[in-house]
Amino acid sequence: MVNRQGVRHLLTVESLEAEEIREIFRLAHELKARWRRGEYTPILAGRVMALLFEKPSLRTRVSFQAAMVQLGGSSLFLGEETGLGKREKLSDFVRVLCRYVDVVVLRAFNHAMVEEFASYATASVINGLTDYCHPCQALADLFTIEEHFGTLEGQKIAYIGDGNNVARSLAMACAKLKVPFVMATPPNYRFSAEYVRRLVLNGMSEGLEVTDDPAKAVRAATVVYTDVWTSMGQESESERRRRDFAVYQVNEILMAQAAPQAVFMHCMPAHRGEEVTDGVIDGPQSIVLEQAANRLHLQKGILVWLLKGLLPEF
């Protein structure tokens, strides 16, 4: 998304063209190769990133901060005392903050707040998760799948569990890149009809395949993916959710019904014993640590892609 000031933001997967996702992957591959060779690539020297988080985070926060350091820039993790939404009008907060920094990573409860924030911003805004979606996660996930299998062609992703922020972005990334996606989700936790319509508009050609039978969903799947049943902010519903999702656990019996080469993925943090067993997440098919590691590399691609107008050599 490019706003009126000509600044590029990354708020949703939906806002990206397939070629833009490919370009972010290309940058991420290049930067990961340099990092593997031990090369320091200070292409963001002098650039500053601010991080504003309304919810906890390990992966998103640390991978963005490490990415910025490894690219020669700096990052500022802003605490509550900066007063987002409390001390002054949001438009004043954003317009002032953007006088100091080049990019802002924002994790918020309310997606509309992130959109409003970006509408005032003259620095690039990256959505680091909202209740609606988690674009950086989904991009890193498809990057990881492509890296693991060597191609996205021939892959089939089965998502088991809640139709939440992570599932929405993953499904949208699959729609854009034409990767077959099927989900097993209880009826009350599925995507809205409006979101399914958006998926179809964005390339999910057969429509969304959704079932309440996890065994059916994983048949012939090369990726079995799950996320927590209770997301951050939904803790008061956790007992009900534990009951509603009880048959949606990814365990050894379910994994055995996927394709023989299937991998297990989870955005983490995991609630072991709920959506996934220890045997699966720690087992031979699990690539969750490679997946988490790739947040660093993929987000370098995002940072360079967003700021590339400032970087002639990329």
Collapse the DSSP code of 224 into the 3-class scheme (helix H, G, I; strand E, B; otherwise coil) and give the result.
strand
Residues 94-123 that bind ligand NVA (CB under 6 A): none
Shortest reach from residue 242's CB to ligand CP, in Å? 20
**Least spacing, CB of residue 52 vs ligand CP, in Å:** 13
Interaction between residue 129 and ligand CP (CB under 6 A): yes
Per CB under 6 A, 66 contacts ligand CP: no
Residues 152-211 that bind ligand NVA (CB under 6 A): 164-166
- The single residue listed with the structure tokens 């000509």 is 6
Nearer to ligand CP, 85 or 269 (CB): 269
Catalytic positions, please? 107, 134, 137, 227, 267, 295
CA distance 304 to 298: 10
CA torsion sign for 150, 154, 158, 163 is positive
On whether the CB atoms of residues 142 and 173 are closer than 8 A, the answer is yes
Q: Which of 16, 231, 47 is nearest to 139 (CA)?
A: 16
Q: Which of 94, 263, 267, 303 binds ligand NVA (CB under 6 A)?
A: 267
Binding test (CB under 6 A) with ligand CP, winner from 32, 59, 176, 297: 59
Amino acid at the residue 50: A
Integer angstrom CA distances of residue 54 from 11, 250, 268: 16, 29, 18
Q: Determine which residue in the list 45, 58, 112, 256 makes contact with ligand CP, applying CB under 6 A.
A: 58
Q: What is the CA radius of gyration of the chain?
A: 19
Should residue 228 be labelled a site residue for ligand NVA when binding is judged by CB under 6 A? yes
Residues of this chain that bind ligand NVA (CB under 6 A): 129, 164-166, 227-228, 231-232, 267
